[in-house]
Amino acid sequence: MEFEQYIWQNKEKFYRIAYTYVQNKEDALDIVSESIVKAIKNKTKLHDEQIFKTWFYRIVVNTAVDFTRKNKRVIYLSDELIVREEGREDQYKDFDLEKLMAILPDKFRIVLVLRYFEDMKIEAIADVLEENVNTIKSRLYKALSILKIEMTEEKLGGFINESK
Amino acid sequence: MKVSKLTDLKKEYEDIEIPVYELDEVVKNALTTSLDSVKPKRKLNWQTIAGVAVLVIALISVVSFTPAGANLMQNIRNAFPKVVETPQTSEDLSQKYTREEEEGLRNALSLGLGQIVNQSVTNQNVTINLDGIVSDGNRTVLLLSANSDAVNLKGVNLDLYPTEKNKKIEINGKQIEGGMGNSFYYDEKKNQAIYIIDIWDTKKYAGKQLSLSIENLETSDNDIYLKGEWNFSVMIPDLSTVKNLTTEVDIKAHFEYKGTKYNLNKIVFTPFETTIFGSMPEDSPKPFNWENGRNAYLQTSAGKQGMKTGLWTEGGKLEIGFGPTKVEDCILLICEEYDSKKEWEGTLVHTKDTPIPLKIIK
């Protein structure tokens, strides 16, 4: 598949990823646009065209991270989200996606998004984020533990404990 | 946090609203701008006006005139499947309209009231085909489909709202009067949008030429999605010599709800639908919550059901539309909560004393 066609066909995915960072339409559209411009300009530097899918995901994520750094906004969370004390159960049970994205640090959030929302394999996430597999697993653990989702080692690759 | 919560979050993630039109534009612009910036720069010849003109045209049309741009457009064109579908028979048409509320349309087609038209207009990479026209002599339905291998047609509607300057559906140079509905649905695999334009009270237009001018495609919020023009012309069938397409039966019945009396005085059976007409005190609320859900239907003794397709009240008039049923012993079932089994009954009575039961499930 041609590079441009790949971008065109998956643009909604890239928009969603961008949106999880900025949570507004205009900025998410800007990130998608800027990512495409960066990709096209640097396409010649890509020696292995087979990995352009992973490579473009990486560009979108990096552009989104840069964007949020440049446009850092103070996000006011309600007290129930800011205060987290040991021993209090299911503090975040009323999370919606927006609150979830606000409370998770960038590096945990993107792992969660790529793994569970984009159904990407751990190895592919490691490629996108240029980290090793164990780092990704560790971040996934951390993200899930912040959200109080139980997880086992062997199920990191796909399934979540059905704790009730 | 429970598994279901993460599943809910995923659902919420997938439900992030995509600004389809804006995203298309942004991606298209970014792709074309980037391609433009990476291609070798031209040495400009400012010595002739012709040279400048060529440059301007080249810049404006970069997508079409540069190999990279052409390649991009080809890729974008290939982003969706190339679907060319022109129905050849009424059955072909009928198979396109599968929703429950289109039972009347399928019934009319099965009775031979449809005509294949197949007029196609392509503009802005979108091909709109006027597949056919169906008429029972009083109500006329235009069936259209839109395909594109380059433009995402998800959630895209036809702009049929007439303005002083632009008439959208006209006969003899005049925008038609009377009711008009426009519904559509979308087939993601084919990137095909299917439209139904419903025009009531077309008896007076029988045998006349109808012009349909689609000026733009628009989003569900009525914002312009794609500017363009797709024009069609078709004759309203004259069915004046065809008898027995419509049967009217006077009835005399009423029911009460929350202290308001609703009278029912006529049932009209047509190939498209069965409609009960009645009256109610002006400014009274619509009976029950009939706007939502399948909470009223007709049922014949043969078990045939016509689901409610619409409810209109205006100036004390009441009109309830159902899917088509034959003229027989209809039972009107009204059900405020569809799953409820609690019933109460009444009776619809013909003036000719043929009873039509009315059963209301409360």
Instruction: Read off the CATH number of the domain in which B109 is found.
Output: 2.60.40.1630
- Quick one: closest CA in B to A25, which residue? B19
- Quick one: closest CA in A to B18, which residue? A12
Residues B295 and B187 in one domain: no
Q: Quick check: B16 and A96 CB within 8 A? A: no
Q: What is this structure's pTM?
A: 0.54
| Structure-model confidence comparison of residues B64 and A23, the more confident one | A23
| Structure-model confidence comparison of residues B77 and B237, the more confident one | B237
Instruction: State which of B23, B50, B75 marks the end of a domain.
Output: B75
- Looking up tokens 């008429």, which residue turns up? B135
Residues B71 and B115 in one domain: no
Binned at pLDDT 50, 70 and 90, residue B29 comes out as: confident
Query: Can you tell me whether residue B293 is helix, strand or coil?
Result: coil
Long-range contacts of residues A137-142, Cβ cutoff 8 Å, at least 24 apart: A139/A107, A139/A108, A139/A111, A140/A108, A140/A111, A140/A112, A140/A115, A142/A108
Q: Which residues of B touch A9 (CB under 8 A)?
A: 79
Binned at pLDDT 50, 70 and 90, residue B219 comes out as: confident
User: Could you report the per-residue pLDDT of B252-286, keeping only the tens digit for each?
Assistant: 777 766 677 788 888 888 999 888 899 988 777 66
pLDDT at A154: 38
Helices (H), chain B: 3-14, 20-38, 49-60, 62-65, 67-77, 90-96, 103-110
Q: Quick check: A5 and B23 CB within 8 A? A: no
User: Could you report the per-residue pLDDT of B111-169, keeping only the tens digit for each?
Assistant: 899 999 999 999 988 999 999 999 988 889 999 999 998 888 888 888 776 666 666 78
Residues B119 and B231 in one domain: yes
Residues B226 and B94 in one domain: yes
Can you read off the two tokens belonging to residue B11?
Answer: 């659902």
| Structure-model confidence comparison of residues B285 and B238, the more confident one | B238
Residues B222 and B343 in one domain: no
Residues B98 and B185 in one domain: yes
Q: Which residues of B touch A64 (CB under 8 A)?
A: none
Mean pLDDT of B336-359: 46
Binned at pLDDT 50, 70 and 90, residue B342 comes out as: very low
Compare CB distances from B10 to A12, A43, A116 and report the shortest one's residue.
Answer: A116
Q: How many structural domains comprise chain B?
A: 3
Residues B101 and B152 in one domain: yes
| Structure-model confidence comparison of residues B74 and A67, the more confident one | A67
Supply the DSSP symbol for A30.
H
User: Could you report the per-residue pLDDT of A34-82, keeping only the tens digit for each?
Assistant: 999 888 888 777 766 667 888 889 899 888 888 877 665 433 333 333 3
Rounded to a whole number of angstroms, the distance from the CA of A83 to the nearest CA of chain B is: 17
Residues B271 and B151 in one domain: no
Residues B256 and B346 in one domain: yes
| Structure-model confidence comparison of residues B109 and B340, the more confident one | B109
Supply the DSSP symbol for B164.
S
pLDDT at B361: 44
Quick check: is B228 in a domain?
yes
Contact pairs from chain A to chain B, CB under 8 Å = 103
Rounded to a whole number of angstroms, the distance from the CA of A72 to the nearest CA of chain B is: 22
Quick check: is B150 in a domain?
yes
Q: How far apart are CA B159 and CA A90, in angstroms?
A: 49
> Domain with B302 in it: what CATH number?
2.60.40
User: Could you report the per-residue pLDDT of B36-53, keeping only the tens digit for each?
Assistant: 555 443 333 333 334 333
Quick check: is B83 in a domain?
no
Instruction: Give the residue from B23, B37, B66 with the most A CB atoms within 10 Å of its CB, the best one to mutate.
Output: B23
Rounded to a whole number of angstroms, the distance from the CA of B172 to the nearest CA of chain A is: 44
Report the percent of chain B where pLDDT is more than 70. 65
Instruction: State which of B235, B257, B281 marks the end of a domain.
Output: B235
Phi, psi of A19 (to 5 degrees): -65, -35
Residue B170 has pLDDT above 60, yes or no: yes
Q: Quick check: B1 and A148 CB within 8 A? A: yes
Count other Cβ atoms within 10 Å, centred on residue B74.
Answer: 13
Query: What does pLDDT average to over chain B?
Result: 73
C-alpha distance from residue B293 to each of A86, B306, B355 (Å):
47, 14, 28
Binned at pLDDT 50, 70 and 90, residue A14 comes out as: very high
Residues B19 and B105 in one domain: no
Compare CB distances from B13 to A16, A92, A95 and report the shortest one's residue.
Answer: A16
Report the percent of chain B where pLDDT is more than 90. 12
pLDDT at A23: 81
Domain range for B220 is: 90-235
Q: Quick check: B79 and A116 CB within 8 A? A: no
Quick check: is B8 in a domain?
no
Quick check: is B154 in a domain?
yes
Rounded to a whole number of angstroms, the distance from the CA of B34 to the nearest CA of chain A is: 5
User: Complex ipTM above 0.85?
Assistant: no
Query: B-side interface with A, Cβ within 8 Å?
Result: 1-3, 5-6, 9-10, 12-14, 16-19, 22-24, 26-27, 29-31, 33-35, 37-38, 71-72, 75-76, 78-79
Quick check: is B6 in a domain?
no
Binned at pLDDT 50, 70 and 90, residue B70 comes out as: low
Domains of chain A: 1-73 (1.10.1740.10), 80-164 (1.10.10.10)
Mean pLDDT of B293-320: 72
Q: Which residues of B touch A7 (CB under 8 A)?
A: 27, 31
Compare CB distances from A41 to B6, B34, B71 and report the shortest one's residue.
Answer: B34
Quick check: is B85 in a domain?
no
Residues B19 and B94 in one domain: no
pLDDT at B21: 82
Instruction: State which of B44, B75, B106 marks the end of a domain.
Output: B75
Can you read off the two tokens belonging to residue B281?
Answer: 């005190």
Q: Which residues of B touch A41 (CB under 8 A)?
A: 34, 37-38
Residues B323 and B186 in one domain: no
Quick check: is B343 in a domain?
yes
